[in-house]
Chain A
Amino acid sequence: EAGVVQSPRYKIIEKKQPVAFWCNPISGHNTLYWYRQNLGQGPELLIRYENEEAVDDSQLPKDRFSAERLKGVDSTLKIQPAELGDSAVYLCASSLGRTTPEQYFGPGTRLTVT
């Protein structure tokens, strides 16, 4: 069974440019999470989806970040415009559903904003 797929693995952009990250969760996983991991820290949740509905986006900086999961499968996280402080690893995770606590992570995208 394929794991969580993310692309790209690396991205280098200049500040004020837009950037997008893509995630395809494990097949059958209804819950999808986007986390951000700053250097030397543990991941922090940005947004959680139950199917196509964003049910927890309280930590998403909505002035520049947006996310979508239109058909309840794959998801895109966008930053526009990027700032220097957005440099981090962006991790996608998925789980079967609310009653299944394990979350399975993708390899992440390392974003560098110059």
Chain B
Amino acid sequence: AQTVTQSQPEMSVQEAETVTLSCTYDTSESDYYLFWYKQPPSRQMILVIRQEAYKQQNATENRFSVNFQKAAKSFSLKISDSQLGDAAMYFCAYRSAGNFGNEKLTFGTGTRLTIIP
């Protein structure tokens, strides 16, 4: 079974600065997807960014980018120019790609990000 670990329960960053959230995972599969979701106090999980395991290039979405290290099974999220609206719980998630019977998302326990004005 796959597991996802987020070792930072809480992080804080000054507004306009850069912060990196860590995520490691364990799997024996070679083909999979990794995601970062954001969950503000409204509770709605919002997709931030996605990475396919077969792609060596790190995904980027505006101020959000990832550092995907497949051999190390590491998937960190970098938020540049942090804004007050970035304050939320951030969840790392894993999904198998090759096994149609196992399409659920496996989540980590989350990192609470606080933005300091």
**A104–B35 CA distance with the chains assembled, in angstroms:** 12
Q: B35: which A residues are within 8 A, CB to CB?
A: 101-102
Q: Are B50 and A56 in contact (CB under 8 A)?
A: no
- Known contacts A98-B100, A101-B50; A45 and B105 CB within 8 A of each other: yes
Q: Are A110 and B43 in contact (CB under 8 A)?
A: yes
- We find that the number of chain A residues with CB closer than 8 angstroms to chain B is 25
**A40–B45 CA distance with the chains assembled, in angstroms:** 14
Q: A91: which B residues are within 8 A, CB to CB?
A: 43, 45
**A105–B35 CA distance with the chains assembled, in angstroms:** 13
* In the assembled complex, B93 has its CB within 8 A of some CB on chain A: yes
**A86–B57 CA distance with the chains assembled, in angstroms:** 42
- Complex: chain B residue closest to A91, CB-CB: B45
Q: Are A105 and B100 in contact (CB under 8 A)?
A: no
Q: Are B45 and A89 in contact (CB under 8 A)?
A: no
* In the assembled complex, A103 has its CB within 8 A of some CB on chain B: yes
Provide 8 A-B residue pairs closer than 8 Å at the C-beta atoms, listed in order of the A residue.
A42-B93, A93-B45, A101-B33, A101-B35, A102-B50, A104-B47, A106-B44, A107-B43
